[in-house]
Amino acid sequence: MTISREDVLHVARLAEIGVSEHELDALVDQMNRIVGYVAQLDAAPVESDGAAFVPGPTAVAWREDVVQPEPLALPPAALAPDFRAGFFVVPQLPALVPESEHAPVDDEEEP
Amino acid sequence: MTPQEVARDTAQRLVETAGLNAVLHWSAEGLQLEAARVAALPPEAPLRGMPVAVKDNIVTLDTPTTCASRILEGYVSPFEATAVRRLRAAGAMIVAKTNLDEFAMGSSTEHSAFGRVLHPDFPERVPGGSSGGSAALVAAGVVPAALGSETGGSVRQPASFCGIVGVKPSYGRVSRYGLVAFASSLDQIGPLSLDVRDCALVLQVISGHDPHDSTSVDLPVPDFVASLEAGVRGLRVGVPAEFFGEGLQPGVRQAVLEAVRVLEGLGARVEEVALPTLEYALPTYYLIACAEASSNLARYDGVAYGYRSPRADDLYTLYARTRAEGFGPEVKRRIMLGTFALSEGYYEGFYKKAQQVRTLVRRDFDRCFQRVDVLATPTSPVAGFRLGERTADPLQMYLADVYTIPVNLAGLPGISVPCGFVDGLPVGLQLVGRPFEEATVLRVAYAYEQATEWHRHRCPFLRG
C-alpha cells in the first residue's frame, strides 16, 4: 500500500499534531517505508480466532472499593500553564472563535 | 566511606564526566540532603549509601522529570515512583536523573531534546539507548548502579554497548507506578550496574507487588543474591539458530558462541532450539508499541501540565501546535504510526494482526522453555555504531533492537552481560528465562561473569 500526503495529514489531524509543509515530504517517505516494512506481518501464520497474549497478572487483583486520596506534593496550580479558581484555562473551541480572530497560519499547514 | 563522603565523591565524578551529557539534573545540595537522610537510616539497610542514578522518565520528587522532551521541560512530579521510593527506603542515594532518547523512543540516545549522550569509552560511538545516560554513567564509574527502563531493549542494548550489565525483569515483577508510560504492555523498569551482583541487589529492592500498579504481580520475590552462587551444572541452555543469521556482525557471533562454550565448560548442557517467529517480532513490536504510545502520549496537550504553545487562539490549534513544537521528530513519527495502525480501515490488518503475532512469539518461547532453562543469544547484532550513522533512517535504528524486542513482547526476564570485544567495542551476551525466573537468569550470568574477565574491563576514564 502507498501512504499519500493526504493520508499523512489525516493521521496528523487524528493525532492532533501540526505538520508543516516543509516536514511533509520527509514524513510521507518515512511513513511509506515503515508501513511497507510492518506490512510483512501479512505473511505471518496467525489463527483467525487467535487470542492476543497480554503479559502480567492472569487475574485482576480487586481492592476494596474505597476512595483513598493520594496526597500530592504539588497542586494543579503549580503544574498547569494556566489555572484559575479551580479550572484549567484553555482557548475557545475553534467553532466559537470569530473568523476575524483566527491566528495567521504562517509556515504551518494545519491538518 | 560515610554517606557524606560518597556524596562529595559522586559530585566530583559528575563534574568530571559532564562532557558525556549523561545527566539532565543533579545538584551538590541535593546530594548532601540525600547523604544526610541516608546517614540517619539503620546500618542494616541493604543499599545504605549506594549512589544510584535514575533515568529521567521515572518520576522523583524535588528534581524535574522531563523524559528528555521539551514538552515536559521543567516538570516536577507531584508524586514519587514506587521503584525510587523503595530504593530510597533501602538506603540508596538518588544522585542524578539521566539523559535518554525522548520518551524512551530510540536506540542510541541521540533523540534527546537536550543533546545526545556520548559513549564514555568511544566518543565517536553511541552508548546505545534509550537508557544511554544511565549506561554511560555506570560505565564511566560515576555510580555503581542506575535505573533504566525497557520497552524493547532499552536497558540491555545500552548495557551491551557500554560493556556493563543490564536486567530487564519479567513484565509485572517491578511496579510501573511513576514510570512515564510509553507502551504500557511492554514497559518495565530495570537496573544497570558494573556486575551481576549489584544488579541482583538493586532488583531485589525494587521488585514486588505494588497496589498502585495493577499490572504488578503478587508473587513472592526470591532472594536473587543468595541464588547467584548455585552454578550452572546440569542447566539446559538453548541457542536459537534464528538469532545467528543474516545481519549479525561476525565478531559478535564469535564472541557469543564462545560464551556459550564457556557455559558448557561450566557444566551446562547446550542444545539448539527454534524461534521461527523472530522475523515477525520487530514489525509486531513497532505496531503495538506505537499504538500504545499514540494513546499514552495523548495526555501531552498543553492543558494540565507541561509546555503550552503561546501561538494558539482556539483549542484545536493549542493541541496541534503544542504537540508539534513540544515533541521531537521521532516521537511524532511513532505517534503518527500508532494512530495510523489504530485508525478505521487499518486496525484489523495492522494492530489486531500484531496482537495475534505477539501470541505466536510467546508460544515459540514457551515451546523452547519446555526443553531448556535459559536461552543464550547476542544482545545486539552489532557491537555499537557511530554517532549519526542511523539517525536519518528510522528502520535501521529499529533494527538495533531486533534481538531484545521478542523478550519484551513475551514479557520474559532477560539480562545482558559483557562477553568480549569486537574492534575494541564491547559485546553483550543476552540470557533469557521463563517468566519470573530472574533468579535463574542472574545465576547463569553470574557463573559466566565469574569464569571470565570481561566485566573487569572498564572504560579508560574509570581505569584512570
Per-residue confidence at A64, pLDDT binned at 50, 70, 90?
confident
User: Mean pLDDT for each consecutive 10-residue tract of chain B (464 residues)?
Assistant: 96 97 98 97 95 98 97 97 98 98 97 97 96 97 97 98 98 98 98 98 97 93 97 98 95 98 98 96 97 98 97 93 97 97 94 95 97 98 94 88 97 98 96 98 98 80 52
B356 vs A: CB within 8 A:
yes
Please report residues of A whose CB lies closer than 8 A to that of B172.
Answer: 55-57
How is residue B136 written as a grid cell?
Answer: 554511560
Say whether residue B461 is in contact with chain A using an 8 A CB cutoff.
Answer: no
Distance from CA of A43 to the nearest CA of B (A): 9
Rounded to the nearest angstrom, the minimum Cα separation between A48 and chain B is: 9
Q: Across the interface, which of B217, B303, B336 has its CB nearest the CB of A31? A: B336
Question: Using H for helix, E for strand and C for coil, what is the string for chain A?
Answer: CCCCHHHHHHHHHHHCCCEEHHHHHHHHHHHHHHHHHHHHHHHCCCCCCCCCCCCCCCCCCCCCCCCCCCCCCCCHHHHCCCEECCEECCCECHHHCCHHHCCCCCCEECC
pLDDT for residue B219: 93
B347 interface with A at CB cutoff 8 Å: no
Q: In Å, how far are A47, A86, A96, B399 from B247, measured between CA atoms?
A: 29, 57, 56, 9
Hey, is the C-beta of B462 within 8 angstroms of any chain A C-beta?
Answer: no
Respond yes or no: is residue B154 known to be catalytic. yes
Q: Which of B77, B131, B134, B154 is catalytic?
A: B154
**Residue-level pLDDT at B386:** 95
* Residue B233, min C-alpha distance to chain A (Å): 31
Question: Given CB atoms, is A57 within the 8 Å cutoff of chain B?
Answer: yes
| Residue tagged active-site, from B130, B170, B294, B380 | B130
- Angstrom distance (rounded) from CA B19 to CA B23: 10
Query: Bigger pLDDT: B205 or A92?
Result: B205
Alpha helices in B108-219 (DSSP H): 132-139, 156-162, 196-206
- For residue B367, CA distances in Å to A34, B180, B240 come to 31, 33, 12
Cell numbers linked to B237 = 541452555
Cβ-defined contact of A97 to B298 (cutoff 8 Å): no
Q: How far is A38 from chain B (nearest CA, A)?
A: 5
Instruction: Single out the residue of B397, B416, B330, B386 nearest to residue B67, CA to CA.
Output: B330
The three grid cell numbers given for residue B68, joined into one nine-digit string: 528528555
Q: Catalytic site residue B130?
A: yes
Can you give the pLDDT at residue A98?
A: 76
A102 has pLDDT over 70: no
Give contacts of A39 with chain B, Cβ < 8 Å.
283
| Consecutive H or E run containing B450 | helix B438-451
Q: Within an 8 Å CB–CB cutoff, is residue A11 touching chain B?
A: yes
And the C-alpha cell for B259?
560464551
Our answer to whether residue B185 is catalytic in this structure is no
Bridging pattern class, strands A108-109 and A19-20: antiparallel
Q: How confident is the model at residue A71, as a pLDDT?
A: 85
Interface-testing mutation among A4, A8, A11, with chain B (most B C-beta atoms within 10 A): A11
- Concatenated DSSP letters of B22-43: -EEE--HHHHHHHHHHHHTS-T
- Measured in angstroms, the CA of A53 and the nearest CA of chain B are apart by 5
Q: Residue B231 and residue B443: Cα distance in Å, rounded?
A: 7
Question: What's the N-to-C CA distance of chain B in angstroms?
Answer: 21
Asked if residue B69 lies in contact with residue B48, where contact means CB atoms within 8 angstroms, the answer is: no
Identify which of B292, B290, B293, B314 has the alpha carbon closest to the alpha carbon of residue B302.
B314
| Residue A66 in contact with partner chain B when CB distance is under 8 A | no
Question: Are residues B36 and B28 in contact, defined by beta-carbon separation less than 8 angstroms?
Answer: no
Least confident of A52-61, A72-81, B17-26, B102-111: A52-61
How far apart (Å, rounded) are the C-alpha atoms in residues B173 and B208? Answer: 6
In the numeric block, which cell numbers belong to residue B289? 508499541
Q: What is the per-residue pLDDT for B238?
A: 98
Residue A11: what pLDDT?
97
**Pairwise CA distance, residues B433 & B368, whole Å:** 10
Instruction: Report helix, strand or coil for B243.
Output: helix
CA distance B225 to A92: 58
Residues B289, B152: contact at Cβ < 8 Å?
Answer: yes
SS3 assignment, position B55: strand
Helix (H) / strand (E) element for B396: namely helix B394-398
At A110 the pLDDT is 45
- Strand bridging mode B374-378 / A87-88: unpaired
Residue of B nearest to A10 (CA): B340
Nearest residue to B415 (alpha-carbon basis) of B453, B391, B447, B383: B447
Reading the block at residue A48, the C-alpha cell is 483467525
Helical (H) or strand (E) element with B239: strand B236-240
